[in-house]
Structure 1
């Protein structure tokens, strides 16, 4: 236990410990509550010395006590252990010849001093962050050009890294100040940094309404189409937040923007960034539900073939959203025609049956059904060759919901109309027993 001994010797000699914190007198530290400090430091990712950790709870000890075996535990934990009738030491499993416990005051002072140092260091850091945010906000009111960009970049980093920075921004009018920089004449670089700040903040309804001004929304959409992948994601997330605000008039104006829809599809097609794909798909799903005209617009800019193309590379979460979007688009005539014209759509969609979830299976089956209604013979031929019948049998025999089973059963019957029993069995790789 060299670490413990070094701490103990330094403490008893009145020297500073090796924890980078300044020493505090007993008068200073005794005013603090150890439990409160432990709680406040719990989420700060500090490495607590192992000798301060109770072997039972694996949490820092507040009242360390020592057993006759020489092992130390937090008082509440060892008393609970003993109250359950245990007669052994939890760590060594030695039989206790004496069940008395002795307060380990030296260790408690070491723990108290260590947490005091960390606590004051954290408080000082928070004060520095808050002061830095306030200073940047004051500077932002005065500067322009590259100096404004630099201040915004610094603010964005502070807001992304510290909760207290976000709180300070909200409490001191920082959001209103930054959002006021967004407008028709805002430069691309200023807009990117401002949006990067705003998207990390908890916006009030008033601030959301302010940002939904057509000029500001237009700028956000333009930046999404031109920015880096990080900027595109920030813009998409901000637009999603704004669309959640109950303002139907502005919603329709936003979601009807072809520029927005094009930008979202670009985000979805970026195979290098799965987070960007997910954000893009979520926003496409949201705008799809806002107005029926959006579906026609999406189809007109080639959303269906683009989504079909990325299907094989999507993770399960993205796949379910993409199939939902395609299923929604298949409910209108333009969507059915676009689906039918997509190369390899039937084999690609058949693969989705019974692959991820019941929802995915239902969406995929609805898409195939829409194509089948337009071209029954062609669809049945390609679907059976792709293994549809065996997938449908799996659905029927599974624990899926009755509606999905019924749909699968009817689809199987329709496929069999275009095939002899022997050919259907051959394509399905079924046995005569199933026949």
Structure 2
């Protein structure tokens, strides 16, 4: 028997090993938790150890010959089998799946190696034994060879292999990295927000434990897993693994960096990063004091509502005609594809209708009292009536008076009788009012002007919020300079929102050096980056001092570039920005000479409805400068303006106001008649709005005063009856112009009659 082979040796290692194997086999036979990673491989290993055990049972307790290699391998195998048993016993659903895979597969690899070593030693001893040819020896050899074959042919899942390859190829081979990431995500079921959040918390808790025990090797391993989690999140966002809402893709920057939850209640932590409230609260509730994104130590665990991100999300819901989930109901399964579950205890960001929003006024000359403010100032993504979430700890009531919006006027085009307009230094964006509710404070109203000082009572929470905003803006400005387009785009998008509604934020952004990098991004090849950058600059221009700084930084040419290459929203907001900068007297002529007129006319011809309106607004303000009128006519604007006089376009008032300005030069009058504008303008006098009638009368007056031919064409269109009506019931200016025209007709008729008498 084997006693003769081995002789005398200590048998405690064999006995302990046999006991450990028996306990491990029993444990795995009782396992019911199918959620444990690599559980299947542990069960296979238990089966193989079951085949090894009879071989070891052949050794009795008599003294055996000393064989140091064998009992050393048995001792080591015993240690690692017990470690594996403890690993399985201690595992819980709250344990990190990634760490479980790495540690579990490492244990299995070691157990396999020591088992093969023991089998190898036994085979070698049997081959050198005189009893190896006996029947018992042959049986033992057969059992050992069977164990060796099983151990060598066993192919575990090796998820840890994909993890290693992911970390190895993350900087060199993005395709390979993505393939391995896909395997990790699928194998471990990291496909839902809550699983990712739980995984992040579990990994961080392990980090805290090993840092406290100063276990440097384990800390290094966990740092790699943290890097891997970041790669997984980026991969899932990039590949749209969290689906859409009613078929509409959810922008990645609406996702919580910690859990990838749709941020319905975004808050800012001490590091300046924004997270979904419920996700970061779970993180903090576990005693974790490290920022999940920056890995900075959090100086405090207070969270501050991120109003700007809430407003962006509310706009996104409104513009995509989606209904945000409320606190009393969870999103039903039909609203989302994928495994993204959106629930919140407090989604209080209400989208205010335009008639309940406070407005930002664009004052142009003496006509400020007649501006129609019925269209939002920022178009595209920000074009709908903007909201500011009013979160009050003591009251759930939301008052329309406490909401605020950053709005664009119906424009000076529909507000001013352009023929009578006298340019002045007051043609600027001179007053911007914002209202902002602070918890437990009186709402303060501030206005920006060249000479006004703002008075604002700040509580400690205000100061903390301002400091947080400053830190956040500084981080965003650095991201604007980062060569990674994703960071640039996200930073521009957040600055866009920060500057949209808040006066103080504009000042902070302007002083933090964001203007230069934002202007540089206007030449980006990525259209969404252009859009965010141009809209951010447009919002910043609402501050008079910042507007001048942006203008002097060379904004005109980049805006023209966006008008040529941008998406629809970027073009719209670029045109709106040119209007804003044209309010600076010195820049009307600069913009006109820059080539901007041609691209604005192109937008007027082929843009979206919003783009056409923005182009008309900018062209109107440029046309106040006499030199620009000829440029606008030569660029072919009149043809498109005449086409837009049709009521169905919704641009009658804007178009006729600009035509009124252009009709003050001969080229403009000739183009209006040539393009067939006279019949349409007469029709506006008869059935247009009060503002439209006034400007239409201005056009007709210019045409008739300078050309008898045009006068006859106007009369042939039956202009007299509507002019008579206008002279009695129009605005003061409209009545004056109608009376002037009627008087001119009488003079013309009397002159003709006098000639006939002669």
Task: Check whether TM > 0.5.
Answer: yes
Within 1, Cα distance between the matches of 2:545 and 2:535? 19
1:121–1:314 CA distance, 2 compared to 1 (3 A): farther
SS at match of 1:152: helix
After TM superposition, the score normalised by the length of structure 1 is 0.57
- Describe how 1:197-236 pairs up with structure 2 within 5 A: 197-201=536-540, 202-203=542-543, 205=545, 208-214=548-554, 216-236=555-575
**Of 387, 393, 398, the match for 2:724:** 393
Shift in Å, 1:222 = 1.6
1:277–1:47 CA distance, 2 compared to 1 (3 A): farther
Deviations 1:105-141 (A, max 9, x none): xxxxxxxxx989xx99999998876654333233334
Asked if structure 1 preserves the Cα contact closer than 8 Å seen for 2:515 and 2:550, the reply is: no
**Of 732, 736, 742, the match for 1:403:** 736
1:47–1:355 CA distance, 2 compared to 1 (3 A): farther
Shift in Å, 1:142 = 4.1
SS at match of 1:351: helix
Within 1, Cα distance between the matches of 2:388 and 2:485? 38
Shift in Å, 1:49 = 9.8
**Of 602, 617, 622, the match for 1:282:** 617
Within 1, Cα distance between the matches of 2:710 and 2:517? 60
1:122–1:323 CA distance, 2 compared to 1 (3 A): same
Within 2, Cα distance between the matches of 1:175 and 1:334? 39
Shift in Å, 1:204 = 5.4
Within 2, Cα distance between the matches of 1:58 and 1:366? 39
- Count of aligned residue pairs for this structure pair: 313
Q: Which runs of 5+ in 1 are unaligned?
A: 1-18, 23-41, 60-113, 421-435
> Which piece of structure 1 moves more, 235-244 or 366-375?
366-375
Within 1, Cα distance between the matches of 2:514 and 2:640? 40
1:165–1:393 CA distance, 2 compared to 1 (3 A): closer
Within 2, Cα distance between the matches of 1:155 and 1:139? 11
Asked if structure 1 preserves the Cα contact closer than 8 Å seen for 2:694 and 2:730, the reply is: no
Within 1, Cα distance between the matches of 2:462 and 2:494? 20
Q: Which runs of 5+ in 2 are unaligned?
A: 1-276, 282-386, 402-438, 442-458, 754-758
| Equivalent residue, structure 2, for 1:334 | 667
1:256–1:170 CA distance, 2 compared to 1 (3 A): closer
Deviations 1:363-394 (A, max 9, x none): 323323444456636753x5445331211221
1:178–1:358 CA distance, 2 compared to 1 (3 A): closer
**Of 576, 580, 592, the match for 1:237:** 576
Shift in Å, 1:308 = 0.7
Within 1, Cα distance between the matches of 2:557 and 2:630? 21
| Equivalent residue, structure 2, for 1:298 | 632
Asked if structure 2 preserves the Cα contact closer than 8 Å seen for 1:175 and 1:198, the reply is: yes
- Describe how 1:29-44 pairs up with structure 2 within 5 A: 44=389
- Describe how 1:137-152 pairs up with structure 2 within 5 A: 137-152=477-492
Within 2, Cα distance between the matches of 1:43 and 1:263? 34
SS at match of 1:353: helix
| Equivalent residue, structure 2, for 1:266 | 602
Shift in Å, 1:161 = 7.2
Within 2, Cα distance between the matches of 1:131 and 1:400? 53
After TM superposition, the score normalised by the length of structure 2 is 0.35
Shift in Å, 1:307 = 0.6
Asked if structure 1 preserves the Cα contact closer than 8 Å seen for 2:589 and 2:627, the reply is: no
Within 2, Cα distance between the matches of 1:206 and 1:125? 22
Shift in Å, 1:313 = 3.6
**Of 348, 353, 364, the match for 2:680:** 348
- Describe how 1:354-393 pairs up with structure 2 within 5 A: 354-356=686-688, 359-372=691-704, 376=708, 379-380=711-712, 382-393=713-724
**Of 626, 645, 669, the match for 1:311:** 645
Shift in Å, 1:311 = 1.2
Shift in Å, 1:412 = 4.3
1:49–1:165 CA distance, 2 compared to 1 (3 A): closer
**Of 565, 577, 591, the match for 1:254:** 591
Within 2, Cα distance between the matches of 1:140 and 1:378? 56
Shift in Å, 1:309 = 0.7
1:129–1:299 CA distance, 2 compared to 1 (3 A): same
Within 1, Cα distance between the matches of 2:702 and 2:543? 42
Within 1, Cα distance between the matches of 2:636 and 2:718? 28
Within 1, Cα distance between the matches of 2:480 and 2:400? 47
Within 2, Cα distance between the matches of 1:238 and 1:182? 15
| Equivalent residue, structure 1, for 2:23 | none
| Equivalent residue, structure 1, for 2:25 | none
Shift in Å, 1:356 = 4.2
